[in-house]
Structure 1
Amino acid sequence: MSPLVPPGTDILAAATAPWTGHDTRLIGMVALAIGVIISLIALLDFHPFVALIGGSVVLGIGSGTELASVVESFGAGMGATLGSTGGLIALGAILGKLLADSGGVDRIVDTIGSRSGPRLMPWSMALIAAVIGLPMFFEVGLVLLVPIIVVMGRRTNTPLVLLAVPALAGLGTMHAFVPPHPGPLVAVSALSADVGTTLGLGLLAAIPTVIIAGPLYGRFIARHVHTEAPAELVASLVKEADEARDAGPARRLPGFATSVGAVALPVVLMLAKSVVDIAFPGDAWYNHLLDFLGTPLIAMFVAVLVAMVVFGFRLGRTRAEVRTVVSAGLPAVAGILLIVGAGGGFKQIIVDTGVADAIGKFAAAADMPLLVLGWLLAVLIRLATGSATVATTAAAGIMAPMVVGTPPVEASLIALAVGAGSLFFSHVNDAGFWLAKEYFGMSVSQNIKTWSALSTIVAVTGLAMSLLMYAVFV
């Protein structure tokens, strides 16, 4: 038995029980169900929400479960997953929208960028992307950063790839490693890990990951890939940037410290809860207060309230204008919420049909560490579907019963490994692949050398950091 296999008695009993024909059938059915999900997404261009429902039905019926029980399991899993993560995803979208519309993103970028010389520019871009990537989804962060990358490269005569790669690395790493992004939140919920612990370990793993996949790899690949953003985009962005700069005094922007503080507030609250629970356990008033404020939903709620004040009312916006901005942040995450919910339903069917017990036997027989198994499952689903969220949701669901009884730090590291695997080798079935290609004017082969390669570096480095932290902390 691998030292990373958890000590939970139920899982141990399942792992040491003899293999049966029913186990073989269950493994075959989950492989078929994942194949159905992959085919519907990759070949028939189905929305992942519909594909996950289809795969769940195939698994439920194929395992011999009664039809009524299949529907009940799916509904229970979807409700439980949305109940634990839906509010966080929605609040994160609102926070990101308030930050962007108020000019907080501009303030962060201008302040950090103005203090960077040519040699430090890629490092500054990685830092900017990581800060912005904390509360924002990858696609939203990329759309916000593209004007900065293009204009900054144009004005400083810096190769576009040298700035684009660090930005993509910072955004992608935060999206895969750190709550409150959907993937890490789903993994934390499915694996019963602690959000604060996962967040802290994710940030710790993100530092070397962003450095390696960002400025270091960017400096290497910039010598081999030369590209320019589309001429129309460059002309438009440079014109808009010049106009905004000329009109700057007429527009009130939040301060740099205010902008960074609002982004960091939920992170600080969640980390503070975990630190106090570990360093000062007890029943004091501050334990109760931080237990409340550090709960992910409350931490995000407090951050949104603060953002409404500092990014809205203090800048002279009316209540109606702030409400409009808040409302505008929600539609963009509707599809993500549905995918996350359907993934939770798929996970519940995996649990209720006994598939996870069969996989536990397989993992024990293969003597494969759970960190590596979770990462590998996420990699395979990611390569097939192109969706980091689907990969994290499905892999975490398969791993969930095998993680029962593990220490909290180990559960968080498994969640981190799953998240890292979900970013492995982005290619033509991933929307992020095409966003990077079109925005930065690359050919398919150039994009594979840049975006696909750096996403693979992030995934492999994330696994390495998970294993290293396991050796140190567990």
Structure 2
Amino acid sequence: MSDTAVLVNTAVAIVAIVLLIVRFKLNPLIALVIGSCYLGLAAGLGVEGTLTTVATGFGDILAEIGLLIAFGVLMGALLNDLGAIRRLVEGLLRTVGAQRLPHAMALTIATFLQSIFLDVLLVISAPLARAVAPRLGRYGTARMATALAIGLECGIVFTVPGVAALALAGLLGVPLSTYLVYGLVVVIPTVAISITIMSTVFTRGWWKPELDELEPAAVATDALAESSSRSTAAGGDTGAGAGGTAATATGGAGEGALPEPAASEPARPPLLLLFGPLVAALLLVAAGAVTETLEWSNPVVAFLSTPMVALLIGLVGTCLVGRRFMGRPKVEESLETGVRQSGQILLLSGVGGSLAATIEAIGLGDILGGYLSAGSWAPLVVVWVIAAVLHIAVGSVTISAITAAGLLAPVASSLGLDPVLIALAAGAGSLFMVHLTSNTFWLLQTLMGQTTRGTLKSCSVGVSVASVVAMGPILLLSLFL
């Protein structure tokens, strides 16, 4: 088949996937499989070859990242039920003060809390952010909503073990230790600079509370310790996704105080103990990157720093902490919740692998490699544009990142670029224009008390700014890799 025919059929497959998801409301999992099958058949792989490629691609990617995603989500479910997120935000507020909280909270979410399922993390953290917003003045709601949006979305694509980050690394064959290091190099300045830009724009008159907020933000109490010591049956720690949105939105923030622990919550363990296993897991993965860079080999360190082993150690440690402070039945309940949350992510990652395998089998990588010049910044911008267009069309950061990575994975070797750069550029592009088709958009609007107009500013524009800003560190890295 000619190069032109391969390019045309690939374009048709991608457009078909987008239309099936957006126009016909078909589940993304089914749409991606249909697109992969069409592409294989149209490009001449044959029935048997197409089905084998789709199945093999699905299995290969899950074999690489399936357990990592599951371990990360399970850890997040346990930390959620332990009340760790609420307490961490309380600690940040006491440590850095209200005015610095948007940066501190966003950076913490983006770099440290990515084992937690995004909707759960948003449902838990948004009422806390809304309660604190009045302390930041007239633009407090805008600043906190933007900080949440940027921290959440940047974290899932740039930070291990964020679900999109794991998928991008797996699809492009990037060692997770490498992605962890370079992802942090990108996400920290991206989050800090983007929030600063948006805060400046808001305070110059772009944010109008009377038009961009549904109602004045609740007045937060000045004594966080006092609010933490009281108990109420409507605490904000038990949300398990979008289903808990309404209760959480009206429960913590509406009364003007930070959400408080449930009446049945046991003695509060130290935060370091709660997060210790997760920190240990990430440090082990980072140790693998360091030993690889130093070309130092030790079998024990090599085993423990393997991402699967490191995250398993973190999960086991978190389970032990949970048993100590929640009891075995509650731990089992938390794990069941985590298993349910991870199912769709695993399936989407798998079909992303199917698309990538099909594209590789039809030889698209060699064709595109001939059009894009190696060793320049242009290919990374092309990657960003493809992911951005997919996200505008589909409306899901994770789906667009996975689809873009699947499309571009075979191109990495022919471009002469380090695959980690392509993974990061695809992640950056997938952040562009979070809009009305995104669940995050509507959760932020409801939980932060914004109008649609206000959410378009804080979420859509804010995350788009981060998408563009992220290309700065990525292009800078390309000069050295």
- What band does the TM-score fall into relative to the shorter chain? 0.7 to 0.9
CA deviation after TM superposition for structure 1 residue 376, in Å: 2.1
User: Is the aligned partner of 1:261 residue 2:261?
Assistant: no
Q: 1:250 & 1:96 partners in 2: Cα distance?
A: 18
CA deviation after TM superposition for structure 1 residue 365, in Å: 10
User: Is the aligned partner of 1:187 residue 2:197?
Assistant: no
**Superposed counterparts of 1:33-432, under 5 Å:** 33-131=13-111, 133-154=113-134, 159-221=140-202, 223-225=205-207, 226=209, 227-228=212-213, 236-238=251-253, 245=260, 251-279=266-294, 281-283=295-297, 287-310=298-321, 312-315=322-325, 317-364=326-373, 369-404=378-413, 410-432=418-440
The 1:341/1:128 distance shift into structure 2, 3 A limit, reads: same
The 1:372/1:250 distance shift into structure 2, 3 A limit, reads: closer
Q: 1:325 & 1:276 partners in 2: Cα distance?
A: 35
Pairs aligned (count): 446
Q: 2:51 & 2:185 partners in 1: Cα distance?
A: 40
The 1:190/1:117 distance shift into structure 2, 3 A limit, reads: closer
Q: 1:134 & 1:98 partners in 2: Cα distance?
A: 13
Farther-moved stretch of structure 1 (130-139 vs 24-33) = 130-139
1:46 aligns to what SS in structure 2?
Answer: coil
TM-score between the two structures when normalised by the length of structure 2: 0.85
The 1:244/1:151 distance shift into structure 2, 3 A limit, reads: closer
Q: 2:178 & 2:446 partners in 1: Cα distance?
A: 37
Cα pair 2:158 2:183 within 8 Å, conserved: yes
> Which amino acid is 2:288 matched to?
K
Residue equivalent to 1:10: none
RMSD of aligned alpha carbons: 2.7
Residue equivalent to 2:229: none
Cα pair 1:229 1:441 within 8 Å, conserved: yes
> Which amino acid is 1:77 matched to?
G
> Which amino acid is 2:452 matched to?
V
CA deviation after TM superposition for structure 1 residue 117, in Å: 2.7
Cα pair 1:151 1:234 within 8 Å, conserved: no
CA deviation after TM superposition for structure 1 residue 130, in Å: 2.8
Cα pair 2:28 2:348 within 8 Å, conserved: yes
2:145 aligns to what SS in structure 1?
Answer: helix
Residue equivalent to 2:223: none
2:120 aligns to what SS in structure 1?
Answer: helix
Q: 2:392 & 2:9 partners in 1: Cα distance?
A: 20
Cα pair 1:177 1:419 within 8 Å, conserved: yes
> Which amino acid is 2:478 matched to?
Y
**Runs (4+) off by over 6 Å:** 230-234, 246-250, 365-368
Q: 1:252 & 1:106 partners in 2: Cα distance?
A: 15
CA deviation after TM superposition for structure 1 residue 49, in Å: 0.1
CA deviation after TM superposition for structure 1 residue 242, in Å: 5.6
Cα pair 2:126 2:444 within 8 Å, conserved: no
Cα pair 2:93 2:101 within 8 Å, conserved: yes
Higher RCO, 1 or 2 (CA under 8 Å, sep at least 6)? 1
CA deviation after TM superposition for structure 1 residue 59, in Å: 0.9
Cα pair 2:173 2:419 within 8 Å, conserved: yes
1:163-217 deviation per Cα after TM superposition (whole angstroms, max 9, x unaligned): 1211221111111111222222222122221211111111111111111222441
> Identity across aligned pairs (percent)?
28
Cα pair 2:375 2:415 within 8 Å, conserved: no
User: Is the aligned partner of 1:470 residue 2:478?
Assistant: yes
CA deviation after TM superposition for structure 1 residue 46, in Å: 1.1
